[in-house]
Structure 1
């Protein structure tokens, strides 16, 4: 209701149960975008759809209620970065455990995470965050090579040395790295559909 500006009755009528999630079909939101009288609301609903269908995909062709809640909090300066990282890890773990299927997540974000943490692969130095600098804007402006095969990536990852890896993106301001929780050498990261353990010390090892 906050995002669409439409009545509670309309939202309730569009909401469907899809597996273990409550969702609104993308088709219904597309129709709303085309006929909504408020231009800002049109843009908000369109942005929500991209956010859910691309960044946090779960039910194909549907916008998840949980993602809608997170999207609604973005204007309150809630950062989406930890949930993106968590859900990427969860998807990769499920993919590896099943031994088949497809990666559910934003491959572009995952690729940028690779490039930022394994920074010596491209021999690129990054500037520090500032009001006028955003690494994601820089990424969009730089054409990425798409001719690196899976075998090449495997060779890169297998030959990484300890000093080739950063435990934080190099554009972040220097500070302490959280790498353990109590007596455990891992950190629980909370996502929008659950939690996952992140072990920075394993990256170094």
Structure 2
């Protein structure tokens, strides 16, 4: 797609500039180069599922991230930061909804809330992958939204397996230099995260890490030349 054609199709949605999904869909169906068709399809998944910003649109910030993947840049910190920020925003405002990759959140639910499947333990191997397991599990259509609400509202501490059993403890990164917390750079800003929280996943010593000054380090990118 030429730069002129893209510019003509860019729409302003709130604070972000987006391109309509149907424009990308037309490109996927009609482009003569199969590799580019697959690339645009993958970009659409990033924009619509992993980093949703406006319904039915793909944010141009996502295209910048996607362009860097071929250079070996990992999207994992951005996905973690967006999920962390969205959940934080819901908790602080006591309203709103989770904006992020709901599929990854569902994988976490199935991995840690053992009462969902009425199984008190699972056997994990060294090559176990929760993503592969959820991908091969037949999708259930009989679980209503009301059932999900009831399940989450009635969770007790003993219903949750905080430690991820497939993680094999080795060296654990819990500090960046002399800092107990670090900013995770997102595609729309940054949010602070305490790596010490990772110790909970490994079933190590439980304590609340120092969080003084966390909020002061959060920011959103503003302006075209930020």
Instruction: Report whether the alignment pairs 1:37 with 2:32.
Output: yes
Unaligned stretches of 5+ in structure 2? 201-205, 208-226
Measured after TM superposition, the shift of residue 14 of structure 1 is 1.9
Query: Equivalent of 2:190, from 183, 190, 195?
Result: 195
- 8 A contact 2:174–2:199 mirrored in 1: no
Aligned to 1:159: 158
State the shift of 1:181 in Å: 4.2
Is the aligned partner of 1:22 residue 2:17? yes
Residue equivalent to 2:79: 84
TM-score scaled by structure 1?
0.76
The corresponding residue for 2:220 is none
Give aligned pairs, total.
192
Alpha-carbon distance change, 173 to 53 in structure 1, aligned in 2, over 3 angstroms: same
Partner of 1:99: 94
Change (3 A) 1:115 1:185: farther
Q: Which moved more, 1:88-97 or 1:171-180?
A: 171-180
Alpha carbons 2:113, 2:159 under 8 Å: kept: no
Partner Cα separation in structure 2 for residue 119 and residue 125 of structure 1: 15
Offset of residue 126 of structure 1: 2.8
Q: Out of 191-200 and 49-58, give the one that drifted further.
A: 191-200
User: Are 1:128 and 1:170, in contact at CA under 8 Å, matched by a contact in 2?
Assistant: no
Look up the SS of the partner of 1:149 in the other structure: helix
- Aligned pairs for 1:1-205 within 5 A: 6-116=1-111, 118=112, 122=119, 123-129=121-127, 134-143=129-138, 146=143, 149-159=148-158, 164-166=161-163, 169-172=164-167, 174-181=169-176, 185-199=180-194, 200=197, 204-205=206-207
8 Å CA contact 2:21–2:56 kept in 1: the answer is yes
Displacement of 1:34 in angstroms is 2.5
CA distance in 2, matches of 1:170, 1:189: 25
**Higher relative contact order structure (alpha carbons within 8 Å, sequence separation ≥ 6):** 1
Q: 2-side partners of 1:115 and 1:47: how far apart?
A: 25
Provide the alpha-carbon RMSD of the alignment. 2.9
